[in-house]
Chain A
Amino acid sequence: MSTLCQIRDLSVTYRDQPNPALAHVTLDIEAGGRLAIIGESGSGKSTLARTLAGLLPPRTHLTGEIQWTGGTPPRPGRDLGFVFQDPSSSLNPVLTIGEQVAEGARQHLDLGWKQALERAQDMLERVRIAQADRVLRAYPHQLSGGQRQRVAIAAALAAKPKILIADEATSALDVVVQAEIVALLDDLVRDAQMTLIFITHDIALASGFADRVAIFKDGRLVEAGPTASLLAAPAQGYTRTLLQSHLDLTSPPLVEEAAT
């Protein structure tokens, strides 16, 4: 697999903050793969996502570098799509779904409105939204959280970018919808041979579909590597802690069963 970008000694400090959000991160991201960036709150994972997407606020202090193969960083919308955590605030409440999904195609693929809307409907069908033609004319508040997130994914992919970054894209959704969205992302990325960078705090979720994982804590990269080997034999204590604190249905319960 070829490399998509090489991050070298990257440090990011927000304006007016004493401590860096990311400190001396060195990481290679491979093209065409699914990378999960895992960390708890304050780990810097969202900052890394936004740095890669060029979404940092002005006057953020950055040192180190990111070298993209191809020379220039990916253009947001055109080469890179971004899906945010909260679908209710990432969609514009006063524009119809069609307008928002078509916008990317219109701008970056230079399509007219009619063609862009056709493409939008196509995208909505690909993200498995029922009655896509009616949803084109609907507004975000008329959809459920899961549907809104599908729309956000459709909008991110409208201009056929090569990279998709999903920043905690399922954290605001319930488990059932989360599983569906993760499966959807997996399919879409596989079909289009895109690179997926999936930010999450849920190591189990990542273990289900990521090729590689990178664990972050307090702004630093703890360890990174192929999912299988890293989770089977974690080198760092923190990774072990994350694995141990994970709760699933096989974890022993804390209470004794009721008699009845």
Chain B
Amino acid sequence: MTLLEINNLSKHFRSGGRDVTALDGVSLTLDPGQTLGLAGASGSGKSTLARIVMRLLPSDGGSIRFAGEDWLALSGKDLRRRRAKIQMVFQDVLGAFNPRATVGSVLDDPLRIHEIVPKSDRPRKIAELLDRVGLQANLADRSIRDVSGGQRQRIAIARAIATDPALIVLDEAVSALDVSIRGKVLELLVELQRERDIAYLFVSHDLAVLRAVSHRITVMDGGRLVETGPARQVIGNPQSTAARALVSAVPRLRIQTPQGHSHEP
């Protein structure tokens, strides 16, 4: 009962006369309610993959099946309607919102477009969503520019769950957040997953973040998938060069005890 099935996906770009392969025959699956961590360095193709899954970029080959349907074959009104089931949270916390939007309008848009609740109920639903992500309901009237980075990302998450999606793609969703807030946002995501049975495709170059929230991790390098497995296994025993590089690059807190022996907590 796979939720998302990607088969042999490819994508090429033409850049300055040269052909660049961004994705080369990528295949992966994701089950409902599970988190797949998509790891890789810059240029590995992970963001391109995320954008193709979100239908923001066209693919050059391969197929994607979502909830049993041919996802890439949809277009126009059908596609827009189905989008309710796949949502996305972006990295750039400020750029992800129309500068003229208010917190309320950001949440109102998906509710209105997909007719989740009747018009008169929308303010109540907005308050409910804000509350669920740990924000005050009276934030709804504020301009999106007047809230902090951490609050904005929570609003982005609230917007993503507004249409009751089955899958959320997160593209470096916590990379731009302060360290002390990152943990809380990740906890929120995990809670929402348990409550609502949402699957996550979590794209990040930071294995520490992926380790915290992923059931399985898949590693990309040069447009190809080079390693897949349970999170603990990929991190504890990385087989591919790319995975090993990612594991060793994660900054480790080095604390020396007073006797001068260095250890990691």
Contacts and interface: CB of A to CB of B under 8 A. Distances in A.
Interface of A: 40-41, 144-146, 173-179, 201-205, 207-208, 228-229, 231-233, 241-243, 245-251, 253-258, 260
Contact of B249 (A175, A245, A260): A175
Interface of B: 34-35, 41-43, 149, 178-180, 182-183, 186-187, 190, 193, 205-209, 211-216, 230-232, 235, 245-258, 264-265
B260 to A, nearest CB: 8
Q: Which one of A145, A146, A207 has the highest number of Cβ atoms from chain B below 10 Å of its Cβ?
A: A207
A205 B251 CA distance: 5
Nearest to B264: A250
A208 B190 contact: no
B256 A253 contact: no
A202 to B, nearest CB: 6
Contact of A258 (B215, B254, B257): B215
B179 A246 contact: yes
Contact of A176 (B178, B213, B246): B246
14 contacts: A40-B178, A41-B178, A174-B41, A178-B249, A179-B248, A245-B179, A247-B208, A248-B264, A250-B252, A255-B35, A255-B215, A256-B215, A257-B215, A260-B230
Nearest to B194: A255
A260 B35 CA distance: 13
Contacts of A245: 179-180, 182-183
Contact of A249 (B34, B193, B250): B250
A175 B253 contact: no
Nearest to A260: B230
Among B207, B209, B216, B255, which residue has the most Cβ atoms of chain A within 10 A? B255
Contacts of B149: 41
A247 B265 CA distance: 11
B42 A228 contact: no
Given A254-B212, A255-B212, A255-B213, 9 more contacts: A40-B179, A41-B149, A175-B251, A201-B178, A203-B179, A229-B258, A248-B252, A255-B214, A257-B231
